[in-house]
Chain A
Amino acid sequence: MSKKQHYKITVNGKEEEFLAEPRELLIYTLRERLNITGPHIGCETSHCGACTVTIDGKSVKSCTMFVAQADGKKITTIEGIGGPDNLHPLQTAFKEHHGLQCGYCTPGMITRAKKLLEENPNPTEAEIRFGMAGNICRCTGYQNIVKSIQAAAAEMNAAKEAAE
């Protein structure tokens, strides 16, 4: 048993300080320690992407990062992207275009999609499929996830144009 260490991370704008063993995977820190249970665990081999969060501008699978590595970093989870009363355009689009069924992959999907659209605001269908390839879905067959991301991209680009 290694000793607990003092860590400080910022999650969705809120500073969190706690003691934890360095081996604690970030996904468990979020879910079990901080009660941020949107990010999920779908595998133990870093494939499924259900645990995807954004750390310092990168999409990261939080099951493949120790809390010790995340010390001092800023993390955004699905809860920080939008909630029931302030849905992000991606969340609205996933709802309207049926981009989810069981909902288990959805937090990781939307968190990843948000970063994808920041890097590429006008992705082609092929670019969406490739850019989302680190996220597995059991229910949708992906088709409506692609449509949801396309719709959100159009919405976000229109809003950006209107603002300019």
Chain B
Amino acid sequence: MIPAAFEYHRPKDMAGVLSILEEHGDDARVMAGGHSLIPMMKLRMADVPHLIDLQDVGGMSDIEIDADTIRIGAMVTQHDIIDNEALAQAAPILREAALQIADPQVRYMGTVGGNVANGDPGNDMPGLMQCLDATFTVVGPDGERDIAAREFYEAAYMTARGDEEVLTAVTIPVPMGGYAYEKQKRKIGDYATAAAAVQIVKDGGSCVSASIAMTNLSDTPIYSEAAGDALVGTSLDDAAIKAAVAAMLDDIDPTEDNRGPVAFKKHVAGVILRRAIERAWSRA
């Protein structure tokens, strides 16, 4: 419950953030909503000699929607995602997923940027962003660069973001067709036993594109290109869905924990993916 002492920084701009990161290196961490980092600090599982609070850094709380792309600032909260009608029109899967993350209080504070940058495979937004083929913008001492969500996750808590970089925005192509974020969990606020993000485009009764990503079934989120490919060109008959599930099961690598043994997680993953595909298809 009692975190170790730290130096607290609340810079007014990104230049201030980057200079503190540069000065203190591994000893400094940025904090957005604080709802993953503070719990880890309270358990003394995260050691953060220099804490950089991003709340006063402007320019990271906007949701911009145009014809082709949606740009979500890293400090946009889960509550903001749920509350934004235009966003729910443009990309309804975001609201559907956000409503399955944590609880009301956590959603007022927890941010999109923190969720995707955290690197915990339990987080829901990483798989969702892989499904949507999002791009993450990070800024560091050498300026800005973009990293595809599908290339971002390397292992549990290991990402392509450098220690001196800050994730500032998530950009997604406006999604097309039907969608579903289906999550099996033990109770409100739990990370998924298994979850699936699915986005499907239908044309004349046939699937013309499908994107599938899975949450908390490996040490990273899993974008299963093969599972999506198994649906393309089919009318989503039972055989096609079985093929997609089989392809997905080849791509995941769950580990046993108190959410269940490996065989159970694979079973649940199959059930969840089938439900997500069927719901996305019904909305396509």
Contacts and interface: CB of A to CB of B under 8 A. Distances in A.
B5 A2 contact: yes
A16 B55 CA distance: 21
Contacts of B160: none
Contacts of B42: 25, 44, 63
Interface string B43-69: 100000001010100000000000000
Interface in A20-69: 21-23, 25, 41, 44-47, 49, 52, 58-61, 63-66, 68-69
A133 B39 contact: no
B105 A23 contact: no
Contacts of B79: 58
Contacts of A123: none
B189 A66 contact: no
- Of B10, B103, B106, which is in contact with the most chain A CB atoms at under 10 Å from its CB? B103
B104 A64 contact: no
Contacts of B38: 46, 64-66
Nearest to A59: B105
A5 interface: yes
Interface string A57-100: 01111011110110100000000000000000000000000000
Given A58-B79, A131-B104, A46 B35 contact: yes
Contacts of A66: 3, 8, 34, 38, 51
Given A5-B8, A66-B34, A68-B10, A45 B103 contact: no
A41 B251 CA distance: 42
Contact of A23 (B5, B35, B39, B106): B5
Contact of B105 (A2, A25, A61, A71): A61
Given A46-B35, A134-B103, A23 B3 contact: yes
A114 interface: no
B157 interface: no
A1 B7 CA distance: 9
Contacts of B8: 2, 5, 22-23, 66, 68
Nearest to A57: B108
Interface of A: 1-2, 5, 21-23, 25, 41, 44-47, 49, 52, 58-61, 63-66, 68-69, 71, 112, 116, 131-134
B247 interface: no
24 contacts: A1-B5, A2-B6, A22-B6, A22-B51, A23-B4, A23-B8, A41-B1, A44-B43, A46-B35, A46-B38, A46-B39, A49-B103, A52-B105, A63-B42, A64-B35, A64-B38, A66-B51, A68-B53, A132-B104, A133-B103, A133-B188, A134-B102, A134-B104, A134-B106
Nearest to B77: A58
B109 interface: yes
A2 B102 CA distance: 32
Nearest to B37: A64
A44 B1 contact: yes
Interface string B85-110: 00000000000000000111110110
Contacts of B10: 68, 71
Q: Which of B10, B53, B105, B106 gathers the greatest number of chain A CB atoms within 10 Å? A: B105
B109 A60 contact: yes
Interface centre among A22, A23, A68 (most CB of B within 10 A): A23
A45 B39 contact: yes
B115 to A, nearest CB: 15
A49 B53 CA distance: 23
Interface string B4-39: 111110100000000000000000000000110011
Contacts of A71: 10
B185 to A, nearest CB: 12
Most chain B CB neighbours (cut-off 10 Å) among A1, A44, A46: A46
Given A22-B51, A68-B53, A59 B5 contact: no
Interface in B193-245: none
Contacts of A63: 1, 42
